[in-house]
Structure 1
Amino acid sequence: MLTGMQIAVLGGDARQLEIIRKLTELDAKISLVGFEQLDHAFTGATKEKLDEVDFSMMDAIILPVPGTNLQGEIDTIFSNEKITLTEEIVSETPEHCTIYSGISNAYLDQIMSSTNRKLVQLFERDDVAIYNSIPTVEGTIMMAIQHTDFTIHGSDIVILGLGRVGMSVARTFHHLGGRVKVGVRKSEHLARVTEMGLVPFHLDDLEKEVENCDICINTIPVHIVKAGVIAKMPAHTLIIDLASKPGGTDFRYAEKRGIKALLAPGLPGIVAPKTAGQILANVLCQLLEEDFDSGKESSS
């Protein structure tokens, strides 16, 4: 239980509702910022403006999956008001206050460093990333079906990267009958792709490997699907970029060539927000309980 714990939830999308629901079940006291347009009420949760929150009382701050942008602004679908996490706000919190986010960036890292606060990136955890790959794969299948006039079965599919998302995407598209090739760099990943019964290739050969590609799915968060690669693709190729913004694709050149390229980060929050929110809520509440229990032990 989280009885007595005070938590600020700042902005977000429908996934945050599952987190709030779980926190209230565990009896935490919650300040909701950026939820003015939310009709649903949660017992133990209070809607507040950012400047109304007493951050000196907060044991934890929960940010949305994307965290903030590079100016500290936080996206929310439940309010039209701008929410900005500043160094001043974080410095007001007690020293034990932990900030939770899906991912981080240079802005958040700098604030955590200057205020000496702990930041937990949920998507750095293998369990969260692996569970989250399930709705990501389903969303990728949905996009592939919506934006092509051919079946996945029998299509030539190039997948870039064999991380936690890449592995799930490769396996599923193979089971759907796609002819899957996976581009990687590490020798152990080449071996793993072979063990999975798929066709591996080194990313140095990417331009050659996309010459007959029907669907290219990128999971690598660096600029890898460059103009030279896109120039080698057939005109009907669909590019789905699952990497975090700004993705790894030259979208300008793809548009110039008439190739459809879709940037699709955050698919779980779009196609299955309830499931994606439950995944985050379960792990987050476990971490909060551990922190809360250890805090009580140290103060006793």
Structure 2
Amino acid sequence: MLTGIHVAFIGGDARQLEVIKRCIQLDASVTLVGFDNLESNFTGATKKPLTCDVLKDVDALILPIVGTDDQGYVESIFCSKQLQLLDEHVASLPSHCVVYTGMAKPYLKKLLASTRLPLVELLDRDDVAIYNSIPTVEGALMMAIQHTDITIHGSQSIVLGLGRTGLSMARALHALGARVRVGARRQEHLARIYEMGLTPFHISEVRQQVTNADFIFNTIPQLLLTAEVIAQMPQSAFILDLASKPGGTDFRYAERRGIKALLAPGLPGIVAPKTAGQILAQTLSRLIADQRKAPGGDAT
């Protein structure tokens, strides 16, 4: 239970609604900032403007997946006004407050470093990333089917990276009957790919591997699909870049060659916002509860 804990939300999208519901169910005191246009009302939650006074007794501050932009603006689809998190807002937070977000840009990290407030980046956690790989893979398969005229079964499919998303992507493609090759750098990843019954290759060989590819799914946030690599692909190839912005693809050159290439970060919040929100709600509610138990009040 979160009885006696004040949780404040600043901005967000449909995923945040699941987290808000969970916090209310667990008896937290909930303040919503940037939810002015939200049609549904949450019994037990209070809508307030972004002021220092509102934040002075907050135990847990929850920001959207992308906490702030480079100027401190916080995105909220439920508010027509701009929300900007400033020094004075952070300074008003109590010293035991923990700030939660999906990923933090330099602006937010610098803002919090000056106050030494703990920052938890949820997408860095293995549990959240693995759970999120489920809607990511489902969304990726949906997009691949929508944007091509062939079946995944029997296709020549390449996955770049065997991280948490890459592993789930490769496994799903294999289950659907694709001929799957996976590019990785680490020897243990290449061994795992082989153990899974897939074809491994070192990422440095990507140029040679793409010559007959039907689908290329990139999960590595580094420019790997360069013009030189894309030049070797058949024109019918489809690239789906699942890495965080700006991705790992030369989209300009792909368009010039007539190859369809799409950047699709954040698929969980697009294709399955309720499920993605429930994943966040489960993790956040546990972290906030643990925060109260931990020495010094820090989340672990």
2:265 is matched by which residue type in structure 1?
A: P
Name stretches of at least 5 consecutive residues in structure 2 with no aligned partner.
none
8 Å contact from structure 1 (residues 2, 27) kept in 2 = yes
Aligned to 1:110: 110
Q: Kindly indicate whether residue 149 of structure 2 is the aligned counterpart of residue 149 of structure 1.
A: yes
| 2:31 corresponds to | 31
Distance apart, 1:182 and its partner CA: 0.5
Q: Which residue of 1 aligns with 2:89?
A: 89
User: What secondary structure sits across from 1:243 in the alignment?
Assistant: coil
1:39-59 Cα distance to aligned partner (Å, 9 max, x none): 111112111221375211111
Show the counterpart of 2:207: 207
1:202 CA displacement: 0.6
Aligned-pair Cα RMSD in Å: 1.6
Q: 2:129 maps to which residue?
A: 129
Report the AA paired with residue 275 of structure 1.
Answer: T
**Equivalent-residue separation in structure 1 for 2:228 and 2:84 (angstroms):** 39
User: Could you say what secondary structure the match of 1:210 adopts?
Assistant: helix
Range 44-53 or range 197-206, more displaced? 44-53
Quote the Cα distance in structure 2 between the aligned partners of 1:233 and 1:13.
37
Paired-residue identity, %:
56
What is the CA deviation profile of residues 168-187 of structure 1, one whole-angstrom value per residue up to 9, with x for unaligned ones?
A: 00000111011111011111
Name the stretch that deviates more: 207-216 or 64-73: 64-73
Q: Distance in 1 between matches of 2:124 and 2:53?
A: 29
Give the ranges of 4+ consecutive aligned residues of structure 1 lying more than 6 Å apart after TM superposition. Answer: 295-298
SS at match of 1:24: helix
TM-score, normalization by structure 2: 0.96
Runs of 5+ unmatched residues, structure 1: none
Deviations 1:92-138 (A, max 9, x none): 10011100011122222211211211000111111111111111110
CA distance in 1, matches of 2:63, 2:18: 14
Greater shift in the superposed pair: 285-294 or 157-166:
285-294
- Equivalent residue letter for 1:285: S
Deviation of 1:293 after TM superposition, in Å, equals: 3.5
- The answer as to 2:187 corresponding to 1:187 is yes
Asked if the contact 2:291/2:297 (under 8 Å) is kept, the reply is no
| In structure 2, C-alpha distance between the alignment counterparts of 1:187 and 1:158, rounded to whole Å | 18
Answer yes or no: is the 8 Å Cα contact 1:87–1:115 preserved in 2: no
Cα distance in 2 for partners of 1:68, 1:219 equals 23
Inter-partner Cα distance in structure 2 for 1:256 and 1:81: 39
Moved more, 34-43 or 79-88: 79-88
Q: Which amino acid aligns with 2:288?
A: L
Q: CA deviation at 1:81?
A: 1.5
Give the Cα separation in 1 of the matches to 2:83 and 2:177.
45
CA contact (8 A) 1:31 1:53 kept: no
- C-alpha displacement of 1:292: 2.2
Match of 1:74 in 2: 74
- 5 Å matches for 1:23-62? 23-51=23-51, 54-62=54-62
- Which whole-Å CA distance do the structure 1 matches of 2:18 and 2:134 have between them? 17
CA distance 1:137–1:36, shift in 2 (3 Å): same
1:153-208 deviations in Å (ceiling 9; x for gaps) = 01111110000000000000111011111011111111010001000111111111
TM-score w.r.t. structure 1 length?
Answer: 0.96
Conservation of the 8 A alpha-carbon contact between 1:97 and 1:117: yes
Deviates most, 197-206 or 104-113: 104-113
The separation in 1 between residues aligned to 2:73 and 2:260, in whole angstroms, is 30
Aligned pair count reads 298
**Aligned counterpart, 1:178:** 178
Displacement after TM superposition at 1:294 (Å)? 3.9
Distance in 2, matches of 1:24 and 1:15, equals 15
CA contact (8 A) 1:139 1:268 kept: yes
Q: Per the alignment, do residues 297 and 226 of structure 1 end up closer, same or farther by CA in structure 2, a change over 3 Å counting? A: closer
